[in-house]
Chain A
């Protein structure tokens, strides 16, 4: 089983080519007149190896979500180049990118009553071959169904198959979104705040799913998170952004330190080791130790 997956990995990646290469990428949103156009992403260069989990952290407005949108091809890089498996994003069609990259969005508001199964099956869209006479009816092939089913098993949403997505709880909905992304059979998974608004149990659940996917499918994962401890615990490497520029990139040990967090977030925190894994653990200082800040306010 494992060798099968390694083979599929190699079919899109030649040896030594990283899954994602970001080469001098800058991006800025078009803005209204009179305001200076600032770079949302400022000359970023890094790469992500196949089968790696990269966590992107940084303060609000540091360009984390924009980076994901550039990686998925939703926003065009103003300067520089993004290459997936050695091929530039610009040379790939939207459907081509969708067969390679799946995105789990931060929030998902579905106002139309679609069931969980229907939603997951939409992930098969980029793999469909259009038959013009069928007008889309009965397009789901046996392999589409099998793919959707295995995605639903992996994220444990089979029991929700007939429920409406709009009726689910936050944790359930997030698992459905991951199932849809998996149904796309991607090589790269991009997640924007996958654990935001989830309780502790669901956070652990989502993170274990991601870990397992990396190990079993060799999936390359890029996830944006506000939660430094989660990033430290579950990511192989962490990319820290400050005002759109790369501040640090490396293992959790290399990136998460008192000095770095002070420089990026502008506040002092306590850092010790995780009792099990030994990765850095960030703790907020007590009120007493920050009292001098409040006294000056």
Chain B
């Protein structure tokens, strides 16, 4: 960057390639470290050496070596590794959805779970399950498609509610979310009540927000899907900055707001639909993570979006590790852990930082 920039603005005031690389690079390293740590804990804890051996084995796709693997390595390869990676991807996606929704609704407290977008997706997926369209686990892309449709409808409804007078005070937006959530949840409860008991129990466990270990092809597809949507969102990061200025100002700065908003709605719903279809309703990640990241690195979405995604991934990987281990060998849904950590933070912001979010 030019000398000019350094002379009148501090390093943080202008987003340089250098700063972007430093922050994202640092977070990537931290993510690897956190993932390694999460892999060690579980119903049976293992040391770093086992984790590394298992990963090396996986990378080589060593068929003959499989016989030499111990039980813990097999657990590592077949269960824990896909699950931890899944948690990371879900957390990253949720945080990215949160960042996008917050810019779109011009509200730093927006969250797909609180606003009922996740419920919309969940209703879509539940309907698919009710009609026997998706059967057991992660039938790509049928379940995500239903999740997408449900999420998009909830999103458009919330946006219509929030749109009157360019933006809505946070309390009205939350109220709209609460009511929408209540209505959608009633539909979901209705569906669970008419399903036969064993299917309804499975649906309930999924609804509470839980991660499972997917098989590798499914994990691969999910990884690609999340990465694609994240890259597409990243390409709109500068436009997200503009949208926070409000419709009229964004237009006066040359942004064709209508088309861009439509595109963002679709991307957000695509990501929410896919996430909800694999992990149910995991709350507060989309609100807590971007908020905390924004406090540290500022609001520029070109940095905020990828940084929040990485921090969100780490957050959920850790939360899921807690969910797996705290009652071991039994597991609790990870949604409970995120709600118990994110919920109080949300209340804190609402009660004591009110002036910041009108």
Contacts and interface: CB of A to CB of B under 8 A. Distances in A.
Interface of A: 69, 72-74, 93-99, 101-103, 105, 108-118, 121-123, 125-126, 128, 132, 135-140, 142, 145-146, 149, 152, 158, 161-162, 166, 184
B16 to A, nearest CB: 6
Nearest to A126: B254
A138 B298 contact: no
A94 B252 CA distance: 7
Contacts of A184: 253
Q: Which of B103, B234, B238 lies at the interface centre, i.e. has the most chain A CB atoms within 10 A of its CB?
A: B238
A136 B252 contact: no
B237 interface: yes
Given A125-B242, A184-B253, A136 B235 contact: yes
21 contacts: A93-B254, A110-B244, A112-B103, A113-B298, A114-B244, A115-B12, A116-B13, A117-B14, A118-B13, A118-B14, A123-B253, A125-B242, A135-B235, A136-B302, A137-B15, A138-B17, A138-B20, A145-B5, A149-B4, A161-B13, A162-B9
Interface residues of B, number: 48
Given A109-B246, A162-B12, 5 more contacts: A99-B254, A112-B103, A112-B244, A114-B298, A135-B237
A181 to B, nearest CB: 9
A152 B5 CA distance: 13
A20 B123 CA distance: 53
B171 interface: no
Interface in B216-255: 231, 234-235, 237-238, 241-242, 244-246, 248-249, 251-255
B106 A111 contact: yes
B291 to A, nearest CB: 11
B17 A162 contact: no
B8 A142 contact: no
Contacts of A136: 234-235, 237-238, 302
A177 to B, nearest CB: 9
A103 B246 CA distance: 13
A292 to B, nearest CB: 41
Contact of B358 (A111, A118, A146): A111
Contacts of B357: 111
B137 to A, nearest CB: 34
A98 B254 contact: yes
Contact of B249 (A105, A113, A118): A105
A87 B15 CA distance: 36
A140 B356 CA distance: 28
Nearest to A121: B14
A108 B244 CA distance: 11
B252 A125 contact: no
A34 to B, nearest CB: 19
B10 A94 contact: no
6 closest residue pairs by CB, A with B: A98-B254, A126-B254, A95-B254, A138-B17, A117-B13, A136-B238
Contact of B235 (A114, A132, A152, A158): A132
Contacts of A72: 251-252
A69 B248 CA distance: 9
Contacts of A74: 248, 251-252
A125 B299 contact: no
